[in-house]
């Protein structure tokens, strides 16, 4: 390990009803409320309305390039990006019960679960509030087609009024019953994920401030985990420390359960369990934490419980660390994804079969575009694109030998700047492991 590499880690930068005909629309009035949901009663470090307007404008710029007059957003992360109003995000993520319609030249309409207009008060990016006529089977039973037709008629009416004759409607995700009803209205459906993913990829300076607030909470949670780590604690009990800290400090949820110990660390992707961590075990974890303001902080660290690391643990850790540091060092704006893949650190053959699926991925409100593949996988799985100033990237590593007892998972979050990258995560790596 090069001495200058070791030096890097000590630095700071390191119920659902349809709308009645007599009152089809509720207008949302601009008010003084600035905080909503989990962050209510807090003082945001930036003007949230500035963030909201930036994100909606990003969506509309991408819509214009794709020549669509409207956009339906059912993915709750995308809906959050568009309007920043929340309502039971996890629950609504597995039922088609809430969506946002964005007109390219016209209103933004929030179709919400039940009639809760107060959840959207004071948000300047929402022009109308409506109740969603749900057509998923749990809610609608054998009346799904009826309610899907009602919803499609509302969307067709919005497209007719505000589309200027353009019938192209982008959708991020929707079941076939909804798509069939929309097509029956004469609308041309267009894949919408390319809009949201590329829009979300470049952050404003205000978004970066909010992402840092999320990272600060994440790292406080990681600290509470490290303080609690001792032989006998279960993986679940250790993981709970991250959850508790996140919720207590205004965060929202955690996307995964990726913490494992000892022989469960290799291969990677085992979820945490009731296994009691033993003295001398390696512990690896991946935060995937959706913190304050809905922004994701995605870092990974690895520790040894209760005693000095073995030579094998040091070897695995040092290699994972080298991969992370090298790959961070080559990143700069203007590089293509292909160039990044080709120039990144080459994984030695003994670790190749256990490699992490991606070298690097984007992050914002969740893991997002781009996903840059290893050069070994590029021709089969990769796609090209461009690193841009304002992208936030997670640089990944998993190092483990096939059939080996343990593995090391490390990950660092960085911002692409005009001069290179800046670290957004600063939680220290384990010096004693090098």
pLDDT digits (tens, 9 = 90+) for 78-90: 999 999 999 999 9
How many other β-carbons are positioned within 10 Å of the β-carbon of residue 242?
A: 25
Query: pLDDT confidence of 42, banded at 50, 70, 90?
Result: confident
Which residues share a beta bridge with 410? 397
How deeply is 52 buried, as exposed, middle or buried, from its count of CB atoms within 10 A (0-12, 13-18, 19+)? buried
Distance between CA 362 and CA 355 in Å, rounded? Answer: 18
Q: What is the mean pLDDT of the chain?
A: 91
Structural domains in the chain, CATH included, are 26-198 (3.40.350.10), 201-433 (3.90.230.10)
pLDDT digits 0-9 by tens, 104-155? 999 999 999 999 999 999 999 999 999 999 999 899 899 999 999 999 999 9
Residue 184 in tokens? 């029956």
pLDDT digits 0-9 by tens, 253-303? 999 999 999 999 999 999 999 999 999 999 999 999 999 999 999 999 999
Place of tokens 């483990």: 400
Which of 83, 59, 85 has the alpha carbon at shortest distance from 71?
59
How many other β-carbons are positioned within 10 Å of the β-carbon of residue 14?
A: 14
Residue 20, pLDDT > 50, answer no
Helices (H) and strands (E) in the chain, counts: 14, 18
Residue 27, pLDDT > 90, answer no
Q: Mean pLDDT across the stretch 320-338?
A: 98
How many other β-carbons are positioned within 10 Å of the β-carbon of residue 335?
A: 19
Count the residues in the chain: 434
Distance between CA 327 and CA 411 in Å, rounded? Answer: 11
Query: pLDDT confidence of 330, banded at 50, 70, 90?
Result: very high
């Amino acid at each position: 390990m090069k001495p200058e590499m070791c030096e890097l880690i000590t630095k700071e930068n390191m119920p659902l009803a349809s709308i009645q005909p007599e009152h089809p629309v509720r207008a949302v009035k601009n008010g003084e409320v600035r905080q909503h949901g989990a962050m209510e009663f807090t003082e945001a470090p930036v003007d949230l309305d500035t963030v909201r307007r930036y994100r909606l404008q990003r969506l509309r710029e991408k819509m214009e390039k794709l020549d669509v007059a409207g956009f339906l957003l059912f993915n709750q992360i995308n809906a959050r990006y568009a309007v920043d109003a929340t309502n039971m995000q996890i629950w609504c993520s597995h039922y088609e019960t809430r969506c946002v319609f964005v007109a390219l030249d016209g209103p933004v309409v929030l179709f919400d679960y039940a009639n809760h207009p107060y959840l959207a008060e004071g948000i300047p990016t929402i022009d109308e509030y409506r109740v969603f006529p749900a057509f998923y089977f749990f809610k609608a039973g054998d009346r799904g087609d009826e309610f899907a037709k009602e919803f499609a008629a509302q969307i067709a009416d919005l497209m007719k009024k505000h589309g200027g004759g353009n019938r192209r409607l982008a959708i991020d995700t929707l079941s076939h019953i909804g798509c069939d009803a929309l097509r029956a209205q004469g609308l041309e459906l267009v894949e919408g994920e390319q809009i949201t993913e590329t829009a979300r990829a470049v952050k404003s300076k205000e978004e970066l401030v909010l992402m840092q607030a999320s990272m600060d909470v994440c790292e406080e949670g990681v600290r509470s985990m490290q303080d609690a780590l001792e032989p006998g604690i279960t993986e679940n009990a250790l993981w709970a420390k991250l959850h508790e800290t996140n919720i207590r400090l205004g965060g929202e949820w955690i996307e995964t359960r990726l913490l494992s110990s000892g022989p469960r660390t290799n291969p990677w992707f085992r979820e945490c369990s009731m296994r009691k961590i033993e003295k001398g075990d390696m512990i690896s974890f991946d935060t995937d934490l959706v913190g304050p303001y809905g922004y994701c902080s995605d870092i990974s660290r690895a520790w040894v419980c209760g005693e000095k690391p073995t030579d094998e643990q040091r070897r695995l850790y040092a290699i994972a660390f080298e991969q992370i540091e090298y790959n961070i060092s080559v990143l700069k704006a203007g590089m293509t994804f292909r160039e990044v893949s080709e120039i990144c650190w080459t994984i030695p053959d003994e670790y190749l079969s256990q490699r992490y699926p991606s070298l690097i991925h984007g992050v914002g409100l969740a893991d997002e575009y781009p996903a840059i593949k290893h050069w070994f996988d590029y021709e089969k799985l990769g796609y090209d694109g461009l690193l841009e100033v304002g992208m936030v990237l997670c640089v990944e590593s998993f190092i483990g030998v096939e059939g080996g007892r343990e593995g090391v998972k490390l990950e660092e979050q960085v911002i692409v700047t005009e001069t290179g990258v800046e670290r957004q995560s600063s939680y220290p790596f384990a010096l004693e492991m090098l």
